[in-house]
Amino acid sequence: MDYQLTDEQRIIVDTLRKFMREEILPLEDKLDPDAGDLEPEDKARLVAKVRDMGFYGLGIPPEFGGPDLDTTTQTLMAMEMTQHRAGLYNPAYGVFGGAGLAQLFEATDAQKEKYLYPTLRGEKSTFFGLTEPSGGSDPARAIQTRAVRDGEDWVLNGSKIFISGADRADFGLIFARTDSDKGRGGVTCFIVDVPSPGFYVRRVVHTLRSTRYATEIQIENLRVPDSNILGEVNKGFAIANDRLTRQRIPYAAGCVGVAIKAQEMAIEYCKIRNTFGGPLASRQSIQWMIVDNELDIRTARYLCLDAAQKADRGEEFRTEAAMAKLVGSEAGGRVVDRAMQIFGGYGMTKDFPFERWYREMRIRRIGEGPSEVQRLVIARDIIGGAFH
Amino acid sequence: MKVLVPVKRVIDYNVKARVKADGSGVDLANVKMSMNPFDEISVEQAVRMKEAGTATEIVIVSIGPAAAQETIRTALAMGGDRGILVKTDQTVEPLAVAKILKIITEQEGADIVILGKQAIDDDSNQTGQMLAALLGRSQATFASEVKIEGGKAEVTREVDGGLQTIRVNLPTVITVDLRLNEPRYASLPNIMKARKKPIDEKTPEDYGVDITPRLKVLKTTEPPVRTAGVKVESVQELVAKLRNEAGVI
Ligand SMILES: Cc1cc2nc3c(=O)[nH]c(=O)nc-3n(C[C@H](O)[C@H](O)[C@H](O)COP(=O)(O)OP(=O)(O)OC[C@H]3O[C@@H](n4cnc5c(N)ncnc54)[C@H](O)[C@@H]3O)c2cc1C
């Protein structure tokens, strides 16, 4: 499919591409290969610029001050913003802002005042605490953290693992079991302030990611007021799940962006690198790597845009989002891997972004629902629930 | 005061141009195209003049294929008011462009035409000067600073070895150099507004201009590849090489 961009989408993509080329890449060149952030003054300057451009707060609904852009346009933007070394997990170093915890748009007015608005202003940082040591693929069943009512409060006990950024957060969401129902019907979402007595970040769990490590959380007799329940009691899992579905499209688009950049670099390099008396580009085995890259990229891009367009039309897009997430993360990994092979020894060095993409891309097949779970979702949708 | 800004759709400055196998020109198949970077500077200059209250209307014009409509739309998103697309799939040489622009300038009653000093595809650096001559107007080329005051334009020009400041009477033709300004990023509200701005579609015939190429391209070649350097053992050897081989001292 040659997806036809509207005039607006094309100008937005062109503008963004220029912004990345002229504002982000020159700064990144001077940073450590594993750096997670820009210098604070550079970041502040670029945030101001993005605000002037009217693009600040990507992913925030317009009624909360975000730019009025449909999912398709945001998907196209995600494919541009990720085309740099730190792009997979920190697109454009965060100068376009972002929604943080999208669940908070469902919050009560008082909760919005206290938690949502400061987050949107960039004053508070957050975490999303769903996964537990007992398993993340099927959190509805695996959640063992319990919350028991005690007067106006709820008392929580349990533990969470792989929770990104909990050590630096001002508050976050903790999903806990509030009912004897063993499945999704018994889970409630609590907003938890940090620090709070009984809330402990036990350790940092180092992973393949250069920065932004995950943490392990211990919860012991943590008291959370009833007013801090997000949504309704026993209805918390739907809140988690909705975000996970929507999140899959930009998550996949990020993988596609990195793959596009890796491919562009591989094509350029294979034309100038000579071995055995000729350029790599003249070797069929190299040509086929480039072709396979292109197939991977186009397939993944198509699936992302297909899911985004369904979402924009207000249609059910769970199957499409799962397909995009699955193919985006797996194809992205293959493309980076082939590009590294074409670059030979240089591909292994930190002089190029490949090694960082290679490590971080690997996480994409696990995070936000592993590949197997995406397949499971797709199977359920196309075969039917009865066989699950 | 009405300002006319011509913009050209060219190969993106970030793309490595490749010569077609038969040497007839540069391969443009599947290549990213953008607005000529000098023209972005012209548009920015016009928009700043409008913001300062000097200009009242900015008309964007492009002569080229249907896709040049995109280039006009981009200029409208930066702040142009309306566009004119003179549609043709032929190569249009500087003289033909200047002839068409002359008629548009007169029809529109534009007081100032702001062009890029050259387009990065053919680097001709001719259109602005030809247009001024055809219109019988003053010209201020290679501008790195422009001040409009009391029916005159004071323009600082980048000339060999320094800067030259001249004053020209309006109406005039200005061509801009790289250092005049830093073009803005189109803002989201302006990108959305650009959709509703009108673009008139015309053809060279509408202006009665014969655009048949007068020039013949004999050959297009890749630039020569830089050859490897050599290491010299001593200062004496270096001096000898500079004198005998390079012939520079
Ligand atoms: C860097 C990083 C950051 C993270 N950040 C967060 C965060 O901020 N918040 C949060 O809540 N979580 C976070 N996670 C957790 C992540 O979502 C989980 O790791 C993920 O959901 C998988 O859960 P698990 O590790 O318990 O694997 P398990 O559920 O134990 O699964 C193990 C393997 O078995 C496969 N599998 C499971 N069920 C089936 C089946 N039925 N059929 C076939 N195969 C199956 C899985 O796909 C997986 O490959 C993060 C993880 C990482 C690595």
Tokens 């502040």 sit on residue = A44
Contact B114, B81 (CB under 8 A): no
User: CA B194: distance to chain centroid?
Assistant: 22
Q: Which residues of A are less than 8 Å from B70 in CB distance?
A: 7, 10
- pLDDT exceeding 70 applies to what percent of chain A? 98
Is there a contact between A14 and B188 if contact means CB atoms under 8 Å apart? no
| B73: closest chain A residue by CA | A7
Taking 90 as the threshold, does the pLDDT of residue A329 lie above it? Answer: yes
Nearest-CA residue for atom 42 of ligand 1? A372
Residue A75's CB is within 10 A of a number of other CB atoms, namely 25
User: CA B195: distance to chain centroid?
Assistant: 24
Contact A12, A76 (CB under 8 A): yes
Q: What is the ipTM of this complex?
A: 0.89
Atom of ligand 1 nearest to the CA of A368: 17
pLDDT at A1: 45
Distance from Cα A208 to the centre of ligand 1, integer Å: 15
Nearest-CA residue for atom 38 of ligand 1? A137
Contact A217, A199 (CB under 8 A): yes
Buried b (16+ CB within 10 A) or exposed e, B98-133: bbbbbbbbeebebbbbbbbbbbbbbeebbbbbbbbe
Environment class of residue A271 by beta-carbon count within 10 Å: exposed (0-12), middle (13-18) or buried (19+)?
middle
Q: Which residues of A are less than 8 Å from B188 in CB distance?
A: 12, 53-55, 67-69
Backbone angles phi and psi of A277, in degrees to 5:
80, 15
Mean pLDDT (whole number) for A194-219? 92
Report the range of poorest mean pLDDT among A314-328, B163-177, B220-234.
B220-234
Atom of ligand 1 nearest to the CA of A133: 26
Taking 70 as the threshold, does the pLDDT of residue A212 lie above it? Answer: no
Q: Is A368 a catalytic residue?
A: yes
Is there a contact between B188 and A67 if contact means CB atoms under 8 Å apart? yes
Taking 90 as the threshold, does the pLDDT of residue A241 lie above it? Answer: no
* Whole-number Å distance between alpha carbons of A267 and B33: 19
pLDDT at A388: 54
Q: How confident is the model at residue B63 (pLDDT cuts 50, 70, 90)?
A: very high
* Best A5, A51, A53, A60 residue to mutate vs chain B (most B CBs within 10 Å): A53
pLDDT at A386: 67
Mean pLDDT of chain B: 95
pLDDT single digits (tens) B22-36: 988 999 988 999 999
pLDDT at B228: 77
Distance from Cα A164 to the centre of ligand 1, integer Å: 13
Min CA distance, B189 vs chain A (Å)? 7
B188, β-bridge pairs: none
A277, β-bridge pairs: none
pLDDT at B173: 98
DSSP state of B183: P
* Whole-number Å distance between alpha carbons of A43 and B88: 45
CB < 8 Å from A in window 8-47 of B = 14, 16, 34
CB < 8 Å from B in window 24-63 of A = 49, 52-55
- pLDDT exceeding 90 applies to what percent of chain A? 87
Mean pLDDT (whole number) for B191-210? 97
The residue among B173, B11, B15, B5 whose CA lies nearest residue B75 is B5
Nearest to B73 among A7, A15, A21 (CB): A7
Handedness of CA A117, A121, A123, A127 (dihedral sign): positive
The residue among A53, A153, A149, A137 whose CA lies nearest residue A97 is A53
pLDDT at A39: 96
Nearest-CA residue for atom 18 of ligand 1? A136
Taking 70 as the threshold, does the pLDDT of residue A387 lie above it? Answer: no
Q: Does B185 touch chain A (CB under 8 A)?
A: yes
Mean pLDDT (whole number) for A29-36? 95
Mean pLDDT (whole number) for A93-101? 88
Nearest-CA residue for atom 16 of ligand 1? A367
Mean pLDDT (whole number) for A327-344? 98
Is there a contact between A14 and B189 if contact means CB atoms under 8 Å apart? no
Is there a contact between B73 and A11 if contact means CB atoms under 8 Å apart? yes
Min CA distance, B36 vs chain A (Å)? 13
Nearest-CA residue for atom 31 of ligand 1? A137
Q: How confident is the model at residue A59 (pLDDT cuts 50, 70, 90)?
A: confident
Q: Which residues of B are less than 8 Å from A7 in CB distance?
A: 70, 73, 194-195
Q: Which residues of B are less than 8 Å from A18 in CB distance?
A: 185
| A73: closest chain B residue by CA | B188
* Whole-number Å distance between alpha carbons of A72 and B19: 36
Min CA distance, B22 vs chain A (Å)? 19
From A23, A80, A320, A368, active-site residue: A368
Is there a contact between B188 and A55 if contact means CB atoms under 8 Å apart? yes
Q: What is the pTM of this model?
A: 0.92
Tell me, using a 6 A CB cutoff, whether residue A325 lines ligand 1: no
Mean pLDDT of chain A: 94
